[in-house]
Amino acid sequence: MKIVSLLPSATEIVCALGLEAQLVGVTHECDYPPGVVGKPRVTASRISHQTMTSAEIDHAVRSQLDGHGSIYDLDEALLRKLEPDLIVTQELCDVCAVSYTTVERAARMLPAKIDVVSLEPSTIADILATIRTVGRLTSTEGRAEALVTELKNRLDALTAALAGTQERRPRTLVMEWLEPPFAPGHWVPEQVALAGGDSGFGHPGAASRTTTPEEIHAYAPEVIVLAPCGFSAGDTLRELPRARLPEGWHDLPAVQQSNVWAVDATSYFSRPGPRVVEGAEILARILHPDLFGHPAEHMAVRVPASLMSA
C-alpha cells in the first residue's frame, strides 16, 4: 500500500504504526518523525509564519477563507505521479490542511480508484479512535491497539499521580493565538484537566475561538501557556515583542507571578496525534512541578517579562 498523508498528525500516526516506508507523500508541514522530512511534499502554504506577524496571519487566513478560498495549494500533478492507494486527510478545519473538497476532486481525477479517508478528531478519545481507524485501513490493527493502550496507560498514570490535587488546580489559560487572543478548544482543555489544571477557560470538543481582555481578566489565570497553533516555542518567543497582547496583560496573576510559559504547540498541542499525551505530561510539569519535576527547556520555556508588551 502506498500512502499519502495530507495531515502532519496523520503522518505521525502512520509512522507510529511502522508504515513510514509506505508513506510516499506528505505535506509541507510534516516534520516528525525526522525520517519523513525528505519525502515528496504535495502541499504548499500561501502564508508564512516566518515573515508575518500573528495579527497579519490572522487577517490573511480570515480574508482567504471568508472569500471561500484556501490558504494551501495541492500539487495534483505530483499526486498523480505518486499513485497512492490511500490518501489521509480531514474536513474539520480549513486552516489545518488542504480542503477535503479539493482532495476529493483531485482523487477523482486519478486513473485508479483511491481510498480517501477523512479523520475528524475533536477530543482525545477521538484521537485514539483515529489511530484505530488508520490501523484498520492499513491492516495494522494490532499495532494500533498496542499504541492506544500505551497512550491510555500514560494518561491513567497522570490521573493517578494527581489524585490528591483536587483542591489545588491552578486556573490555566492556554492561548491558541496571540493577536487576537484565542481561547482553547478541541482536546486542549482536556489536556489541561488531565495535567491537573482548571480548564474552565476553554471549550472541550468545540473549535477554539477569539476571546477578549474582559473574559481573560474575569478568569484571572494563575498560569498562562502560550501555544499559538502551528508555532514552536521559538516562534512564539520571536513573535511576542511584535504582538499586541490583551489590555491589562501585566495585571494578570500569572504575569505578575512570572508564570507565563511558551511551549511547542505544533508538536504537542495543535496536532491531533499521539504526542498530545506528551503535551498533557508537559502541562503537568508546568502546573505541578512538585509532583512531576520542572519541565526541561525543550518542553517549555518561562517567558521573560521583557518580551511581553500590552
The per-residue pLDDT for range 147-168, each reduced to its tens digit, is: 999 999 999 999 999 998 777 8
26: helix, coil or strand? strand
User: Taking the model in full, what pTM does it have?
Assistant: 0.91
In Å, how far are 7, 61, 78 from 103, measured between CA atoms? 12, 19, 13
Can you give the pLDDT at residue 67? 45
Q: Which three cell numbers stand for residue 39?
A: 519525502
Q: Are residues 141 and 225 in the same domain?
A: no
Q: Are residues 223 and 125 in the same domain?
A: no
**C-alpha triplet 231, 235, 241: angle, nearest 5°:** 125
The span from the CA of 258 to the CA of 144, in Å, is 41
Q: Please, are residues 114 and 107 in contact by the beta-carbon 8 Å criterion?
A: yes
Task: Count the domains in the chain.
Answer: 2
Q: Is residue 56 part of a domain?
A: yes
DSSP category for residue 224: E
Q: CA nearest 271: which of 174, 188, 208?
A: 188
Q: Are residues 92 and 187 in the same domain?
A: no
User: Of the candidates 130, 145, 160, which is a domain's last residue?
Assistant: 145
Rounded to an integer, the average pLDDT of 247-261 is 97
Instruction: Name residue 171's beta-bridge partners.
Output: 198
In Å, how far are 148, 182, 206, 219, 247 from 214, measured between CA atoms? 40, 13, 21, 9, 9
Domain with 267, as residue range(s), is 169-307
Mean pLDDT (the chain) is 90
Rounded to an integer, the average pLDDT of 107-119 is 77
Q: Is residue 136 part of a domain?
A: yes
Q: Are residues 173 and 138 in the same domain?
A: no
pLDDT exceeds cutoff 50 at 297? yes
pLDDT per residue as tens digits for the range 9-45: 999 999 999 999 999 999 998 999 999 999 999 988 7
Q: Is residue 163 part of a domain?
A: no
Instruction: Name residue 3's beta-bridge partners.
Output: 23, 86
Can you give the pLDDT at residue 128? 98
Residue labelled with grid coordinates 497512492: 84
* 33 upstream amide cis, omega within 30 of 0: yes
pLDDT exceeds cutoff 80 at 178? yes
Q: Are residues 184 and 298 in the same domain?
A: yes
The span from the CA of 154 to the CA of 50, in Å, is 34
Q: Is residue 156 part of a domain?
A: no
Can you give the pLDDT at residue 68? 43
In Å, how far are 175, 248, 285, 308 from 260, measured between CA atoms? 11, 15, 13, 10
Q: Are residues 213 and 245 in the same domain?
A: yes
Letter for the amino acid at 150?
A: E
pLDDT exceeds cutoff 90 at 3? yes
Letter for the amino acid at 158?
A: L
Can you give the pLDDT at residue 294? 96
Pairing of strands 172-175, 223-226: parallel
Say how many CA atoms lie within 13 Å of 70 toward its Cβ: 17
Q: Are residues 262 and 183 in the same domain?
A: yes
Give the domain CATH number at 227: 3.40.50.1980
Local confidence band at 56 (pLDDT 50, 70, 90 cut-offs): confident
Q: Are residues 241 and 205 in the same domain?
A: yes
11: helix, coil or strand? helix
